[in-house]
């Protein structure tokens, strides 16, 4: 019996020994740690680590930093001759800024140009009333609030700001494209050709269809203002003569005529002018052309003459008001037609449908507001990729932002992509020509820029 109990005990020990050994082992779990991903303040993505460790899995985290508000905008001439245009620019700014804050991307066709989640843009604006002194006051106020960009409404305001912008290292977008901004080059970044280059493009285009053996006769018919007189420089006249024109002289019309410019138009007829060049806004161009047609002057009229204007005379505004009365009128340097089948127009339509469905702005300068907003925000984005956005300076935004903008696509709104740099503030590389034919805007081609500048002061 004793031997039986000993054998039984031994059997139990042999059976339970492996179980006891297993219970005493440490549990080992092998996991693969995902690469840690960090989103930097500028929107770039850095990846670190890719190893197999005997630890719990690491989480993938996104770091965006503390919330930062960056200001865009500037002064807008909401009173005076530019009021209608500037109201449209402001509307474009407002909708575009809201779109970027909602979607954190520059544009639907630039989906890789993202905005960090911690950055919010706020629009600052005030009415400069087309007054340089008021412009300077607004500029200083906005700068004191931490604004590191600005904008220009018109040539007088631009010239008032030009040296100050350089002194403060602040870059400004502009709806005005005065040749003086480039001589010497400052910090005013334009989105259309300078007015002298627009006139040069028209002159080249006009010669292509000139069939007479005599030299064509050209004169200025332009606004009696800094805007209109931008083209009245010796270098412009010299270029026209070099093309083969006979330069006849100049006639000036008030920015907003209080009476038809009959005398100026009669002078053109008396001097047998074939082509006029000028820079006007629609409150000046429309009554001028109406009076010309009444006098039998224009393309297809009793007295054959072509009236050509710079982009402030936007055909997209001119045509709905003038219809067939405006046939033959030419505008250089403008955006595409508002019914053009291009992504930029579809984007602008979407912005209005989304943010102002019951108060749409049909003025072409809405597109300018979108483009200026896009340029300012892209400059801030590029600078924030290099510097903590909470520590950005205006100089950072100028040199690491504006100067680094390359191939900014406007979705076909502009004739070319925008590229800026140190000493290069004219973003486009060519000039679009448009003409009214049968009450429609017709594209006539694009011409290279000639950089016709005044003498350096």
pLDDT tens-digit map of 26-79: 443 333 323 333 333 333 333 333 333 333 333 333 456 899 999 999 999 999
pLDDT of 315 reads 97
pLDDT of 457 reads 58
195-332+434-448 CATH: 3.40.50.2300
Which secondary structure element, helix H or strand E, spans residue 21, and what is its range? Answer: helix 2-23
Mean pLDDT across the chain, nearest whole number? 89
Query: What mean pLDDT do residues 295-322 have?
Result: 98
| CATH class of the 68-193+338-426 domain in this structure | alpha beta
Residue 81's nearest CA partner among 187, 190, 155 is 155
Strands (E), 77-136: 119-127
**450: how many CB neighbours lie within 10 A of its CB?**
19
Question: Within the chain, which residue ranges are assigned CATH 3.40.50.2300?
Answer: 68-193+338-426, 195-332+434-448
β-partners of residue 433 are 332, 445
For the ranges 85-94, 176-185, 256-265, 444-453, which has the lowest average pLDDT? Answer: 176-185
Scan for tokens 């429309």, then name that residue: 286
pLDDT in tens, 356-366: 999 999 999 99
Q: Which pTM was predicted?
A: 0.83
* Contacting residues for 116 by C-beta, under 8 A, at least 6 apart: 39, 40, 41, 42, 43, 64, 65, 104, 384, 389
Strands (E), 241-332: 246-253, 275-278, 297-298, 303-304, 306-310, 330-332
Instruction: Kindly state the percentage of the chain with pLDDT values over 90.
Output: 84
Band the pLDDT of 313: cuts 50, 70, 90. very high
């Amino acid at each position: 019996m004793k031997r039986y109990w000993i054998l039984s005990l031994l059997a139990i020990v042999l059976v339970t020994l492996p179980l006891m050994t297993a219970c005493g082992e440490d549990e080992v779990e092998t996991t693969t740690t995902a690469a840690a991903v960090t989103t930097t303040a500028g929107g770039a993505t850095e990846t670190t680590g890719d190893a197999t460790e005997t630890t719990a899995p690491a989480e993938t985290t996104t770091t965006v930093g503390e919330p930062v508000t960056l200001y865009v905008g500037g002064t807008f001439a909401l009173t005076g001759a530019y009021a209608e245009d500037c109201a449209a620019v402001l509307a474009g700014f407002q909708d575009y800024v809201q779109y970027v804050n909602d979607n954190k991307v520059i544009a639907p066709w630039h989906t890789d140009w993202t905005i960090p989640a911690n950055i919010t843009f706020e629009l600052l604006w005030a009415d400069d009333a087309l007054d340089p002194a008021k412009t300077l006051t607004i500029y200083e106020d906005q700068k004191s609030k931490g604004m590191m960009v600005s904008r220009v409404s018109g040539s007088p305001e631009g010239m008032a700001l030009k040296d100050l912008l350089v002194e403060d290292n602040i870059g400004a977008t502009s709806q005005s494209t005065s040749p003086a901004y480039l001589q010497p080059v400052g910090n005013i970044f334009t989105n259309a050709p300078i007015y002298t280059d627009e006139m040069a493009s028209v002159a080249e285009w006009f010669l292509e269809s000139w069939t007479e053996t005599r030299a064509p006769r050209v004169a200025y018919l332009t606004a009696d203002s800094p805007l209109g007189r931008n083209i009245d420089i010796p270098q412009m006249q010299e270029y026209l003569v070099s093309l083969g024109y006979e330069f006849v002289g100049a006639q000036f019309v008030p920015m907003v005529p209080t009476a038809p410019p009959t005398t100026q138009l009669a002078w053109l007829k008396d001097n047998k002018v074939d082509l006029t060049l000028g820079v006007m806004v629609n409150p000046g161009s429309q009554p001028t052309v109406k009076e010309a047609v009444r006098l039998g002057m224009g393309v297809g009229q009793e007295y054959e003459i072509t009236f050509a204007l710079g982009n402030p005379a936007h055909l997209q505004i001119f045509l709905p008001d003038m219809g067939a009365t405006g046939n033959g009128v030419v505008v250089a340097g403008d955006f595409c037609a508002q019914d053009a089948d291009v992504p930029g127009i579809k984007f602008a339509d979407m912005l209005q449908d989304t943010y102002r469905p019951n108060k749409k702005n049909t003025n072409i300068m809405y597109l300018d507001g979108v483009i200026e907003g896009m340029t300012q925000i892209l400059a801030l984005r590029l600078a924030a990729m290099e510097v903590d956005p909470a520590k950005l300076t205006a100089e950072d935004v100028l040199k690491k932002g504006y100067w680094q903008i390359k191939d900014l696509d406007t979705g076909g709104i502009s004739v070319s992509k925008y590229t800026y740099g140190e000493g290069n503030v004219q973003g486009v590389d060519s000039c679009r020509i448009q003409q009214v034919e049968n009450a429609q805007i017709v594209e006539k081609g694009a011409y290279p820029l000639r950089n016709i500048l005044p003498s350096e002061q």
